[in-house]
Structure 1
Amino acid sequence: MFLKGSVEEKERYIKEMYRDKCRLSGKNAAVIKKIHGIVNNNRSNPDKLVGVEGIWAAGLLLKYDIIVHALILDVDAITTPDAFQIMESLAKIAEEIHLVSHSTYSKISEVGTSAGIFALAKFPIKKLDMINAANSEVIVVLDGLEIPGNIGTIIRSCDGTNTDAIFICNRKTRITHPKILRSSQGSCFKVPIVEEESATIIKWLQDNNYRIILTDTDAEHFYYDTNYHGKIAIIMGSERYGISKEWYDIPTESVKIPMYGDCDSLNVGIAATLMLYEAAIYRSGDRTKITKNA
């Protein structure tokens, strides 16, 4: 049995099962250097790869049919039935399998409970023409956001509210940034994400008859007084500069979140979450139920 075998027996099993794509790799292997650059976000990443480790996170790759470029295994750490099952499933779809020593694996792992499983996966970025406007009624547009943690938080909130897609324009950080992956808690693999120029996004929204709602501290109306029915696009501006001028040059609606203390605005991740949940509650009909029962 694999789980009770020695390191040599485990490696022999994997090499025999996947001989065409399996190899032994050391700390100086190209794939290990590539992973270092990706997890530290300090090298170019034209293929938009992300590092995913551990049983739970690796399970999301399988759930959402994410392409696995390389599977890195520390077989000595694979000791449970769950880890073995995930390893087997990922090994079948991975383009490459690399068997590494425990010391080499520890150089790329950040999770103490990763169970010896690390996947280098393709981030599922979408093209604008892949979004079906007829089936995508609620879209959030992130205009110039700079902080990866905020983007990840919004992605997670989009998942929680069943928002149909996220459009990113005036990009200031890589979508593959490790903090986006961590703060989104894997929701980045589920919610469709598009990176595109502002003008192209604006045209697409107008051509497909979306109401465009700006979140603006100077707006006259509060966010909870707005009609969120129909096809809507909620625009969230950057942490420092707000929403770009080009969005004010087209027909839009503006809403604000009331501030009762000394600060004049909320963190964009929190603000987006309030907006998205308000829209989701409104569209579900629960807002009417709450009002009647108040």
Structure 2
Amino acid sequence: MIKEISSTQNPTIKILVALQDKARERRKSGEFLIEGVREINLALQAGFELTRILFCYAIANAEELQLLQSKLDKNVAQIAITEEVYKKIAYRSGTEGIVASAKAKQNQLTDLLLPKNPLILIAEAPEKPGNIGALLRTADAAGVDAFILANPRTDLYNPNIIRSSVGGVFTMQIATGETEEVLTFLKEKNISIYAAILQEAISYEKQDFTGSTAIVMGTEADGLSEEWRKQSTQNIIIPMQGKIDSMNVSVAASILIFEARRQRGFKE
């Protein structure tokens, strides 16, 4: 049965606006919003449990909406909304008139299913959602086996992460944890740690990444914490040719992770 909501003051709409705007509300409820047909389909493929789907008939493509509705569990609430209501809850302009709410996953390190010889990308304490989204796109493009956030400073289901990752937050195996937890996990799994850090480093071109590999990136402002320098298998650098001594973290990660992928051979 399809419910209809036409008021921006409706209690359900107020809840959804809070989920869109506030990390505290996402943590408290265990839910988050997904905007756009592609992203919702990717979430369904990844096994995320949808709780509601809201659609504006005046904006949504009827064929895409019908196809999406055919994939939904019967317990998912379906709500038709007006353009005014849609604009109230939409994070992006120009999307397809469809928004869903979903239950967040726990993203525990112990939930990761790794192959025998994994390739992992790790980011420590990234603050900017746009950078996290770009890192997820890189991880997806390179076909890494897992993406780990160490000491995260923003929640994984921030709407800007979902937007900037173009749904990559749903295509990757993702885990979060404190740095010490992540280090312990990697050592227990006998995964070599290659930290992108200046001290005691060699050029990434000289490093063999064909074994079990975790490439670790820090923030552009502060780099990696001391724990990574001390406990890494090898620190690596990207030699700089210009006068600026740093580059965007997602660009640097792309260089390193695709070198690892090149050494391992690209998947067909």
Per the normalisation by structure 1, the TM-score is: 0.82
Match of 2:255 in 1: 274
Task: Report if aligned partners of 2:34, 2:159 keep a CA contact under 8 Å in 1.
Answer: no
Match of 1:252 in 2: 233
Aligned partner of 1:57 among 25, 39, 52: 39
Counterpart of 1:282 in structure 2: which amino acid?
Q
SS in 1 for 2:263: helix
Task: Report if aligned partners of 1:83, 1:115 keep a CA contact under 8 Å in 2.
Answer: no
Displacement of 1:180: 0.9
Task: Report if aligned partners of 2:20, 2:32 keep a CA contact under 8 Å in 1.
Answer: yes
**Deviations, residues 186-238 of structure 1 (Å, cap 9, x unaligned):** 01101111111111111111111111101113444211211001111111112
SS in 2 for 1:52: strand
Q: Does 1:170 align with 2:151?
A: yes
RMSD, matched Cα: 2.3
Counterpart of 1:169 in structure 2: which amino acid?
A
Q: What's the % identity of the aligned pairs? A: 26
Name which structure has the greater RCO, CA cutoff 8 Å, separation 6+: 2
Residues 93/190 of structure 1: CA separation in 2 closer, same or farther (3 Å cut): farther
SS in 1 for 2:122: strand
SS in 2 for 1:172: coil
Displacement of 1:139: 1.2
Match of 1:183 in 2: 164
**Cα distance between partner residues in 2 of 1:127 and 1:68:** 20
Q: Does 1:221 align with 2:217?
A: no
Task: Report if aligned partners of 1:71, 1:97 keep a CA contact under 8 Å in 2.
Answer: yes
SS in 2 for 1:72: strand
**Cα distance between partner residues in 2 of 1:233 and 1:146:** 20
Per the normalisation by structure 2, the TM-score is: 0.89
Q: Does 1:74 align with 2:56?
A: yes
Displacement of 1:158: 0.5
Q: Does 1:96 align with 2:77?
A: yes
Paired residues in the alignment total: 266
Match of 2:9 in 1: 28
Match of 1:265 in 2: 246
Match of 1:241 in 2: 222
Counterpart of 1:54 in structure 2: which amino acid?
G
Residues 77/132 of structure 1: CA separation in 2 closer, same or farther (3 Å cut): closer
Question: Structure 2 stretches of 5 or more lacking a match?
Answer: none
Q: Does 1:138 align with 2:119?
A: yes
**Cα distance between partner residues in 2 of 1:60 and 1:179:** 16
**Cα distance between partner residues in 2 of 1:285 and 1:137:** 14
SS in 2 for 1:227: coil
Task: Report if aligned partners of 1:41, 1:178 keep a CA contact under 8 Å in 2.
Answer: no
**Deviations, residues 226-283 of structure 1 (Å, cap 9, x unaligned):** 1001111111112211111112232520110011111101111111111111111111
Question: Structure 1 stretches of 5 or more lacking a match?
Answer: 1-13, 16-21, 287-294
Task: Report if aligned partners of 1:217, 1:265 keep a CA contact under 8 Å in 2.
Answer: no
Task: Report if aligned partners of 1:143, 1:168 keep a CA contact under 8 Å in 2.
Answer: yes
SS in 1 for 2:211: coil
Bigger radius of gyration, 1 or 2?
1
**Cα distance between partner residues in 2 of 1:234 and 1:174:** 21
Counterpart of 1:138 in structure 2: which amino acid?
L
